[in-house]
Structure 1
Amino acid sequence: MRKFAVLALVWMATVALIGGLGAQARPGQITGVVKDAAGALLPGVTLTLTSPSITTTTRTTVSNQKGEFTFLSLPPGRYTITSALAGLRSAPTEVLVQPGATAKVSIAMAVASAAESIAVNRETAKVDSAHAPATLGGVIGGVVGGLFHPGRALMARQEFNTEAYDKIDDNQWTEVGRKPLSTFSIDVDTASYSNVRRFLNQAQTPPKDAVRIEELINYFSYDYPQPKDGQPFSITTAIAGAPWNPRHRLALVGLQARTLDSSRVPPRNLVFLIDVSGSMMDANKLPLVKGSLAMLAPNLTEKDRVAIVVYAGAAGLVLPSTSGSDTTTILESLNRLQAGGSTDGAQGIRLAYQVAQDHFVKGGVNRVILTTDGDFNVGVTNQGDLSRLIEEERESGISLSVLGYGMGNLKDSTMEKLADKGNGNYFYIDSLAEAQKVLVEQAGGTLVTVAKDVKLQVEFNPRTVAAYRLIGYENRLLQDQDFNNDKKDAGDMGAGHSVTALYELVPAGEKIDIPGIDPLKYQQPSTSSADARLDETMTVKLRYKQPEASESSLLSVTVPTKTAMTPELGFAAAVAEFGMLLRDSEFKGSSSYADARTLAARFKGADPHGHRAEFIRLIDAAEGMRHLNATRR
């Protein structure tokens, strides 16, 4: 009996010990919300979780549109959360995670002074990516160890700045009486905005030629109506006074592509072409590439196919074409990538297109996604030769999208041209938040084309408009005769994407100085009935092709002379004013950062992802840099 009692006690103690150990081993989690000083929810905040006493792994996540965030599967113990968003600051938050429990936190962020923001951005040390690997567990959770995001400078290894941008000359005034037509290709690239943000987050003024105003404007979504009657686009127009010149007017032309329900998204044949050369070692390059593509992977389906091609001194197939539903295999392949060697981009491009061609999906999406800093240094390195290579490959029906990464040696000019020639888009990824926007929130537009070779032609009425100037799109201009030429390549438009163009107009009767052209001797002013219409400002014509078509279709709308500052025009004008100031444009007139901020705040409207609020903070950062630069002179 005594022996039985002893055995019973031992058994009970063992059970209790095992239960205690089990409870200690059960992971907990942290959930929370981020707000500003006024209590408004803050999306897009980068949150970094550390606990040196428990684990060396650093986890990073981004708050969603409701300002919410979650860290899952955490060993019990004490953790520190730091938060980062351009122009804001907060003290580190200490959190105790209990076994099997959920710790709830609320983080408040306040506006940082300009000097404080600059100091924080400059103190960030260089990151050795060898000590910040992206573990598989972190990637699956949507985080990558050691990454920095908006509000934190991403410091590169390069001691010398060899970034390359094509020179941009602002569009000049054009007299309507001499040239009434303005023709250009649409542009849905947004790389310039996130690149400008990167500079401002590092307390640097961006180079003038890094600022492409049309890409700043098109970074934002606008409340344009969905297309009707089976058309792929809706066309929205508006005219109001130009904020920087009360004698002038500002005209908006907005296109909205139809959105696609997820059930109607066609099968996707994707090839990730990843630069793994030595220049991609930095934490804001290959590790961020892994994190970016890891965010896309869980959103693919069994209808999709994914392959991974890498290139350095040579090219290789890391992942043969695999079902999009095999997320684990895709993530494991990404996690194994390491950087080293020279950069033979042309060889990788050829292999990626060949893999895409081998698994071509008729009627589906066939696309190569190139991730690189654009620094090609062996093989075919000439920008023109690379562009011609892409032009040859695009005839196969396979598009090219380019995701740019890093700094110091960023070859913006090369990447923009490759995407243009490849009938794709160029994005600059400076953070996981930007990757989320491009590859998850806007995946339809990024990956699914609803119309190709989209061209705009605007005819101005000389009775109401004396002169016009297209703001931006300098490298997208077309000859007027190209509009009706279906052999002339132009930009493609993805599902759900919008395109906005602004014209500054000089009303008829206003004096404008346009030098260099003498009066014509033999030409007579037109007296057609169209010229006599005083209630029309311009006519907008749009040509496009269906994705599988070779002949274009035409849409046309007439724009009346009545003026009204709509929310879409107001916010786009604020962005244009911001861009002209960054470029120190000769056409900026009375523009100021204060006026741009007032306009942006007035027309901020619904901002579910926080992009417009972030823009207002960037205006403040640019104004702070202006004051700082003024004190140095």
Structure 2
Amino acid sequence: MTHSNIRRLINQGTLPPVGAVRIEEMINYFSYDYPQPGKNHPFSVTSELGPCPWNKQHKLARIGLKARDINKKNLPPSNLVFLIDVSGSMSAPNKLPLLKQAMKMLVRQLDKNDRVSVVVYAGNDCVLLAPTAGSEQKKIMTAINNLGAGGSTHASSGIITAYQLAKQVYMPGGNNRIILASDGDFNVGITSRGELQKLIEEKRKSGIYLTVLGFGMGNYHDDTMEILADKGNGNYAYIDNLLEAKKVMVKEMSGTMFALARDVKIQVEFNPAKVAAYRLIGYENRALADEDFNNDKKDAGEIGVGHTVTALYELIPAGSADAPTVDPLKYRKTEARIPSKYQDEAMTIKLRYKPLHKEKSILLTAVVKDKKIDLTTTSRDFRFAAAVAGFGMLLQDSEFKGDLDYDKVIALAKNGRGTDTEGYRAEFIHLVETGQLLAN
């Protein structure tokens, strides 16, 4: 469940289901101050090691990736196909009407080099707008205004039609993308998760990416939408209000819409002289087998222009008294005997990625030195990311939450708030305070 979906539930007076909370989605909802990459690679790799706020015997490692920012004028043209669910379940004000506003925000940023198509689906699919130049704003806006809801949902035929349209005006080197918008209530035709997944996997081979936008409250199938995005070489977001629509469709459009690299993989090797065991916080649905890191045939995630990715690892230091009691399914023990020249290293970060339109991956490595540091001297981003992870663990009632409580999470978040020009961190603090009232 995305952070915006969790926010929607809490603001309605309900805590999210324990099993639906995805901590990595919560952490990566927020932006962090990572440096721009150098000339040789499209990413920078940042790391920070500090105390674990919920267990004084442990450490916390933060790893951050930052993709290169590119001026909008220098981005390739877009071939966008909106695939819109107009079934009866989309008629609520926070579904299709909100979606139409979000579409207009995106369309206003397009120009004569871009192409826009609109496919609607319910009982049947229909091409509402054939491929049209982005400069024909009036024609596109009229098509958006004509969208109306009614009927049951037949997603599979609409998906096929959308891929056909995208292929019809395919732009080599451009941003060829389908934007699927729905509440996920696929109740007619291909409805099983496996069948939809298979269909999307077949279509992604065409070089066309998939962005999935989720809308609605009671009937929103978050897990289905995530799977479609993951299997379609794309990304997804949940939009619950106009400000979130602006965040996704305007502020983060480059990172959401323009892929900079494919099959991005991270592998962290821990020094057993320093780390007895570790736990990656979140990412349960995105785990990669060790042997797949060097396998260029193994599909992984895409990263867009200006996009950031953050991962947190909880570490048990070597010699810690609680190391032997760790659940082997959650923490992995490392092996000993390390050459003396590596004794001051805590870990090595390895990153593989494929440049667009290339099949051979490129390897980056970064070493993280072990050092003692107080929580107060860590960066504000470190403390805030830890607070978000802590809130997620409280919502999950995680066995690893240690001595965490809501007051500690709130204090940690306030301490890590920083400049917060967009106000998202302040909103998070308010959300935790509301969650505390609901939990009590």
The TM-score by the shorter chain falls in which range? Answer: over 0.9
What is the rounded CA distance, in whole Å, between the counterparts of 1:624 and 1:359 in structure 2?
52
Tell me if the contact between 2:272 and 2:338 (Cα under 8 Å) persists in the aligned partners: no
Distance in 1, matches of 2:335 and 2:28, equals 37
**Which residue of the partner structure matches residue 592 of structure 1?**
405
- Please list, as runs of the form range in 1=range in 2, the aligned pairs for 1:178-577 lying within 5 A after superposition: 192-511=2-321, 512=323, 513-514=325-326, 526-529=336-339, 533-564=342-373, 565-577=378-390
Superposed displacement of residue 461, structure 1: 0.4
Match of 2:393 in 1: 580
User: Is the 2:153–2:185 contact (alpha carbons within 8 Å) kept by the matching residues of 1?
Assistant: yes
**Counterpart-to-counterpart distance in 1, 2:327 and 2:230:** 33
Aligned residue for 2:234, secondary structure, equals coil
* Contact 1:273 1:308 survives alignment (8 Å): yes
Report which stretch shifted further, 404-413 or 361-370.
Answer: 404-413
How many matched pairs? Answer: 430
1: CA distance, partners of 2:335 / 2:119: 60
Partner Cα distance (1:619, 1:291) in 2: 29
**What is the Cα deviation at residue 230 of structure 1?**
3.4
CA contact (8 A) 1:463 1:533 kept: no
Q: For the Cα contact (< 8 Å) 1:195–1:210, is it kept in 2?
A: no
| Larger RCO: 1 or 2 (CA < 8 Å, sep 6+) | 2
Question: What is the Cα deviation at residue 231 of structure 1?
Answer: 1.2
Runs of 4+ residues over 4 Å off in structure 1? none
Q: Is the 8 A contact 1:238 1:563 kept in 2?
A: no
Distance 1:573 1:356 in 2: 41
1:558 partner amino acid: V
Q: Which amino acid aligns with 1:620?
A: E
Q: Is the 8 A contact 2:262 2:303 kept in 1?
A: yes
Distance in structure 2 (CA, Å) of the matches to 1:559 and 1:230: 21
Q: Which amino acid aligns with 1:376?
A: F
Give the Cα–Cα distance (whole angstroms) in 1 for the partners of residues 292 and 106 of structure 2.
37
TM-score by length of 2: 0.96
**RMSD (CA atoms):** 1.4
Deviation, structure 1 residue 534 = 2.4
Match of 2:416 among 603, 624, 630: 603
Distance 1:367 1:202 in 2: 33
Return the alpha-carbon distance in structure 1 between the equivalents of residues 418 and 111 of structure 2.
34
Could you tell me whether the CA contact under 8 Å between 2:54 and 2:402 is conserved in 1? yes
CA separation of 1:515 and 1:422: change in aligned 2, threshold 3 A:
closer
Distance (Å, rounded) in 2 between the aligned partners of 1:622 and 1:249: 26
CA distance in 1 between counterparts of 2:87 and 2:316 reads 51
Letter in structure 2 aligned against 1:591? L
Alpha carbons 2:273, 2:336 under 8 Å: kept? no
Cα distance in 2 for residues equivalent to 1:525 and 1:338 = 60
* Alpha-carbon distance in structure 2 between the residues aligned to 1:260 and 1:249: 35
CA distance in 2, matches of 1:577, 1:319: 46
Cα deviation digits, residues 491-510 of structure 1 (max 9, x gap): 00011110000000000000
Aligned to 2:436: 623
Q: Is the 8 A contact 1:541 1:555 kept in 2?
A: yes
Residue 562 of structure 1 and its aligned partner are, at CA, apart by 1.6
The corresponding residue for 1:78 is none
Question: How far has the Cα of 1:210 moved from its partner?
Answer: 2.4
Q: Distance in 1 between matches of 2:124 and 2:14?
A: 36
Structure 1 length as normaliser, TM-score? 0.67
| Residues 135-172 of structure 1: CA deviation (Å, up to 9, x unaligned) | xxxxxxxxxxxxxxxxxxxxxxxxxxxxxxxxxxxxxx
- Whether the 8 Å CA contact 2:37–2:44 is kept in 1: the answer is yes
- Percent identity at matched positions? 54
Q: Which runs of 5+ in 2 are unaligned?
A: none
Matches within 5 A, 1:55-70: none
DSSP-derived class of the 2:320 partner: coil
Task: Could you tell me which runs of 5 or more consecutive residues in structure 1 were left unpaired when the two chains were aligned.
Answer: 1-190, 518-523, 628-633
Cα separation, 1, equivalents of 2:414 and 2:305: 28
* Residue in structure 1 matching 2:426, options 601, 609, 613: 613
